[in-house]
Amino acid sequence: MSETDVRVLGIEGTAWAASAAVYDSATDTVEIETEAYLPDSGGLHPREAAEHMAEHLPEVIERIIEDAREEYGEEPFDCVAFSRGPGLGPCLRLVGTSARAVAQRFDVPLVGVNHMVAHLEIGRHFAGFDAPVCLNASGANAHLLGYRAGRYRVLGETMDTGVGNSLDKFTRYVGWSHPGGPKVEEAAKDGEYIDLPYVVKGMDFSFSGIMSAAKQEYDDGTPVEDICCGLQETIFAMLTEVSERALALTGSEELVLGGGVGQNDRLREMLASMCDQRGAEFFAPENRFLRDNAGMIAVLGAKMYDAGQTIPIAESGIDSDFRPDQVEVTWRPPETTVRREREEFVQGAESAVTIADETVEKHRHRREYRHPELDERLRRERTRQEARLLHEARREGVPTPLIRDVDTGEMRLTLQRVGERDLQDGLTADRVGTVAEQLAALHDAGVVHGDPTPRNVRVGDRPFLIDFGLGYYSDDPEDHAMDLHVLLGSLAGIDDNVDRLRTAVIDAYRASGDEAVLDQLREIEGRGRYQ
């Protein structure tokens, strides 16, 4: 059967939303019924969420079935799609049981959908994009997904809490009711920007420090409206910066937004501004598709059904830790993104680079999406830090470009041109092993590169580390391990067979660096929920 003829019943219930939907691909229309769980106080309570799901999921399913029968007759569906994970186990089990019951009732096959991939695919579907990067910004999650060789890869993610949960923690602290995100958005309209911690590590990021600082500001008597303004400007700038880094790494010129926090007007404004400034396209679905909903489950279910990705009843168990990169993407072509040529001019994630015969001029232009005070601070700090760390790295014997000129007023560095191409255009196990050895030398000297992705390594007769703008001084194994984590995560986003490269990185670092850093790397990778 062609996808244009498919009608799918979708069922969602990973945490907050007891939701059912019908997608008719012939008309590309979606009808959704949802009963959202709203706690009386605090954040999500797993037991209460499961009770809500048990009470409301059967009724929303029956309502959507009744509507579908009126529209399409007694056999309204070709299949049943359900959210298989990730999510809360008790909620997901109710979803799985309901889906199996409906599939047997109508004698139609089952499709198990990854909730996070559905957030991406609903945006790709309605945007008509080919190979977008997706920023998922929801309560429990915040991460970037990109497509590579038949899988969606996690390019970057929060290293502690989800973006929505972070905002909720602050609003609970000040005594506001759930949900906190809309209240922060409203209060920020009357606030003045204040500086708060800004933590980006490659394409990963952390919210714990900014939350602690925001609570301290409140205790110190700073107006809550100003804190909310600072929270939004800082957190959303972090998400926008890592989104731009993901675009730069993959060569994609398309960005889609998913997740409930994506309903925030300021976040959408920042992402749209960033994409406009770099000549990329941005798409945010309707709000009903940003919140957890069965519509996105049904739409992706139709694509998977058409590709033959149904599952037997006996194999339809849920998976609370279902990772996006576990999903075999058979419903779209396996081609990878075609990258633009990088010869005389390169638009990176935070810098424009002009390349001459012997020199490279790196100019940190103003990022229009960021608040002017935050933008000025970051560009100045990063320009100065990069100059210092380039010098420090060379002193430790790590190949880096020579500095020809530093202009902190114009946020400009003039550097020696090194290498013939970026590492990502010439990946070999030997080269990434050498990069790991160079990182070990830096770490031994108490230097963290901060963003050692294959775009920040130039290769020729040897690898050269470049772009120390996110670098800093630290002797902490956690910070050193984050360097390796960023390198390995970026390799997974651009290479079809990353296992050989990972082995080369680990073996080379073990031979040259501190084993405690590798122990910490394993801890970090276990901490990440979607790695």
Domain check: are 202 and 184 in the same one? Answer: yes
CATH of the domain at 461: 1.10.510.10
Please write the tens of the pLDDT for every residue from 304-328.
Answer: 999 999 999 999 999 999 988 899 9
- Domain count within the chain: 3
Domain check: are 277 and 373 in the same one? Answer: no
| Mean pLDDT within 353-380 | 94
Domain check: are 103 and 169 in the same one? Answer: no
Domain check: are 181 and 248 in the same one? Answer: yes
**Residue 470 binned pLDDT confidence (cut-offs 50, 70, 90):** very high
331 occurs within a structural domain: no
What is the CA 350 to chain-centroid distance, rounded?
Answer: 18
Domain check: are 507 and 367 in the same one? Answer: yes
The residues near 17 (Cβ < 8 Å, ≥ 6 apart) are: 34, 35, 36, 37, 291, 292, 293, 294
**Residue 148 binned pLDDT confidence (cut-offs 50, 70, 90):** confident
In Å, what is the CA distance from 72 to each residue of 1, 61, 67, 348, 382?
17, 16, 9, 51, 60
Task: List the one residue out of 473, 471, 481 whose CA is nearest residue 524.
Answer: 481
Largest CA distance in the chain: 76
CATH of the domain at 23: 3.30.420.40
Predicted local confidence at residue 4, as pLDDT: 59
Residue 338 above 80 pLDDT? no
In the block, which residue shows the tokens 């990109």?
Answer: 146
In the block, which residue shows the tokens 């790397």?
Answer: 521
The pairing of strands 254-258 and 133-137 is parallel
Domain check: are 269 and 309 in the same one? Answer: no
Predicted local confidence at residue 349, as pLDDT: 77
Q: Which residues are bridge partners to 76 per DSSP?
A: none
Per-residue DSSP letters for 153-217? EEEEEBSSS-HHHHHHHHHHHTTPPSP-HHHHHHHHTT---------EETTEE--HHHHHHHHHH
**Phi, psi torsion values for 395, nearest 5 degrees:** -65, -25
DSSP 8-class letter at 332: S
Residue 28 above 80 pLDDT? yes
Domain check: are 206 and 59 in the same one? Answer: no
What is the C-alpha separation between 518 and 468, in angstroms, rounded? 22
Domain check: are 149 and 228 in the same one? Answer: yes
470 occurs within a structural domain: yes
Judge whether 451 counts as a catalytic residue: yes
Predicted local confidence at residue 106, as pLDDT: 96
Predicted local confidence at residue 337, as pLDDT: 45
What is the C-alpha separation between 460 and 418, in angstroms, rounded? 8
CB 244 within 8 A of CB 351: no
What is the C-alpha separation between 487 and 202, in angstroms, rounded? 8
List 306, 422, 451, 483, catalytic entry: 451
**Residue 2 binned pLDDT confidence (cut-offs 50, 70, 90):** very low
What is the C-alpha separation between 32 and 504, in angstroms, rounded? 49
Question: What pTM, to 2 d.p., does this model score?
Answer: 0.91
**Phi, psi torsion values for 340, nearest 5 degrees:** -75, 155
Please write the tens of the pLDDT for every residue from 433-461.
Answer: 999 999 999 999 999 999 999 989 999 99
204 occurs within a structural domain: yes
The amino acid sitting at 468 is F
Show which of 326, 353, 380 is a domain's final residue: 326
268 in helix, strand or coil? helix
Domain check: are 244 and 299 in the same one? Answer: no
Query: Which ranges constitute the DSSP H helices of 251-333?
Result: 265-278, 287-290, 294-306
Domain check: are 100 and 84 in the same one? Answer: yes
What is the C-alpha separation between 426 and 420, in angstroms, rounded? 10
Domain check: are 252 and 212 in the same one? Answer: yes
Burial of 29 (0-12, 13-18, 19+ CB in 10 A): exposed
Show which of 266, 298, 326 is a domain's final residue: 326
For residue 261, give its domain range: 128-282
488 occurs within a structural domain: yes
Please write the tens of the pLDDT for every residue from 106-133.
Answer: 999 999 999 999 999 999 999 999 889 9
Show which of 260, 282, 304 is a domain's final residue: 282
Count of all residues that appear for the chain in the document:
531
Please write the tens of the pLDDT for every residue from 180-221.
Answer: 999 999 999 999 999 999 999 888 999 999 999 999 999 999
| Mean pLDDT within 488-501 | 85
Domain check: are 480 and 384 in the same one? Answer: yes
335 occurs within a structural domain: no
261 occurs within a structural domain: yes
Please write the tens of the pLDDT for every residue from 44-56.
Answer: 778 888 899 999 9
333 occurs within a structural domain: no
340 occurs within a structural domain: no
Q: Percent of the chain beyond pLDDT 70?
A: 95
Predicted local confidence at residue 340, as pLDDT: 45
